[in-house]
Amino acid sequence: MKKHLLIPCILLIICLQVEGSQPVAQPSFTPCTFPTPLQHPLLFRHYCERLPTLPFVCDLHDSLAGLQLKGAEDAAQKYHDSLYQGNQSTVAVIIARNIEQPWRASDVYDKEEMLCLLNGDCLSSETVHGIINNPKTFLKVWTWKVYQRWFGMGCDNDQSMNVLILILIEGIANDARRIPYVKLYSGNYRLMSYLKNMEGEIYNSLVQNWELPRVMYHLVDDVGFHIREFAVLNGEFREHSVPQWARNVFLLCALLVIFALVTEWYIVRRKLAIKKSASGIKISVGKSKTHLMF
């Protein structure tokens, strides 16, 4: 009897070990199905809200799990007024290992999970075909659509302070090169001009194998700083030129030099005229005009 019970137990243990050894499939979403706080709050909490101290960061594949993120947390506190409007975050950061790019036109036109790209007049048919062949175009469309669904924005240029940052640590899922990608999007075109250099900076940090906590610190610190600068300067760029007081001092010095040269020329001319009229003798060439002043 014991022998008959022992065999099923051994088989059960083997099955559990095999099942536990199989890798868990990582979540994958299209721009139309990605969980957002406005449209899918329950799914958003399940897949994204894994960092209570950084609620605007969606760590989709647990890339930041167990890491020390105190630097990013301190930066978030430092720029809290820039990163939040009331209880709503103005920044969305999505960190994923990779995402899948469609490779056929039918993947865009025929699949229900991609149909939101075709609604309205925001996306042309040429762009739809472009996302199939160009990863950068695909990521631009991906971030644009998720931005709209995350913040509830439309197609036109908005005046909000919202920004979405997508970081793909291993790039496109179908690409064997595993090149990291960084894409930033904001519906506010003026704010985009403030943040345009951040894409390259984050990308370089990933290529240089920076640790993710360091990458996150610089990301949060930079985006908070730029949003605050944008608000303080009302969208204008801070001038990095010679200050006005220095220009005034330079102009004053130039005027004094001109005045001194004119005065010297006038005095020399006057002395020459007096000496000529007094003696009628031509002055020696060896003496300088400055000497005649004394």
Contact call for residues 203 and 187 (beta carbons, < 8 A): no
> What's the mean pLDDT in 148-159?
79
- In the predicted model, what is the mean pLDDT of residues 250-271? 84
Burial of 160 (0-12, 13-18, 19+ CB in 10 A): middle
pLDDT over threshold 90, residue 223: yes
Strand partners, 67: none
Pairing mode of beta strands 163-168, 181-185: antiparallel
pLDDT at 151 over 80: yes
> Quick check: 41 and 186 in contact, CB under 8 A?
no
Query: In what side-by-side order are the strands of the sheet with 91-96?
Result: 57-59, 91-96, 163-168, 181-185
Angle between helices 125-133 and 135-151 (to 10 degrees): 120
Examine the pLDDT at 220 and tell me if it is beyond 90.
yes
pLDDT digit string, tens, across residues 176-190: 888 999 999 998 888
pLDDT tens string 1-43: 444 444 444 434 434 444 444 445 677 899 999 999 988 899 9
Look up residue 165 and give its two tokens: 């940052």
d(CA 29, CA 113): 9
Cross-strand pairs, 204: none
- The pLDDT confidence band at residue 287, using thresholds 50, 70 and 90, is low
- 72-81, 173-182, 231-240: least confident range: 231-240
Contact 131, 108 (CB under 8 A): yes
In the chain, the percentage of residues whose pLDDT exceeds 90 is: 38
Of 61-75, 112-126, 269-283, least confident by mean pLDDT is: 269-283
- Whether 191 contacts 200, CB under 8 Å: no
pLDDT for the residue 2: 43
The chain-wide mean pLDDT, for the chain, equals 81
Residue 132 pLDDT grade (very low, low, confident, very high; cuts 50, 70, 90): confident
143-152, 188-197, 247-256: which is most confident: 143-152
Chain Cα centroid distance, residue 178: 21
Query: Which two structure tokens, joined as six digits, stand for 167?
Result: 């970081």
CA atoms within 13 A on the CB side of 141: 29
> Is the confidence at residue 84, as pLDDT, over 90?
yes
pLDDT value at residue 169: 95
pLDDT at 7: 41
Q: Which residue has the higher pLDDT, 161 or 236?
A: 161
Taking Cα atoms as reference points, which of 26, 30, 73 lies closest to residue 47? Answer: 26
pLDDT for the residue 204: 95
pTM for the full model? 0.72
Q: With 80 as the cut, is the pLDDT of residue 51 above it?
A: yes
